[in-house]
Amino acid sequence: QVQLVESGGGLVQAGGSLRLSCAASGSTTSINVIGWYRQVPGKERELVADISRGGNTKYADSVKGRFTISRDNAKNTVYLQMNSLKPEDTAVYYCNARASSLPWSPTLSYWGQGTQVTVSS
C-alpha cells in the first residue's frame, strides 16, 4: 500500500555533502514515521534518523550535528541532508515507512530499494 523510492546517492569526498530523497506514494496518509537506515555488507542495518507525522526527529549519535532529516508534505517526500561526510558513512541508505490506517490497526513496515553513498578519503 506504500511505495518508497530513494534517490540522491553518489560518490563524494570526505567533508562533502549529499542530500538523499525518499518519495512516498500509495496510502501516504497512513504513514506515521519515515526513517533513514544504512547498511554495510556483513553488518546490521542501523537507524540513521527518522521523523514522525508530528515532526519529531531522532538521530543516531554518530550523525548528530552533521545530518538533518526533513519533510515536504506537499510532495510526500522526506530528505536527509548529509554534511561533513566521513568515509565511515559509506553504506547503502534505505528509506523505511511505518504505517497504519487507524490507531488500533496493525502497523506495517515498508522499505525502499536503497541508494548507495560512497565517501572517499
- pLDDT at residue 105, as a whole number: 86
pLDDT tens column, 77-120: 999 999 999 999 999 999 999 999 887 888 999 999 999 999 99
- Output b/e per residue, 52-83; b: 16+ Cβ within 10 A: eeeeeeebeeebeeebbbebeeeebbbbbebe
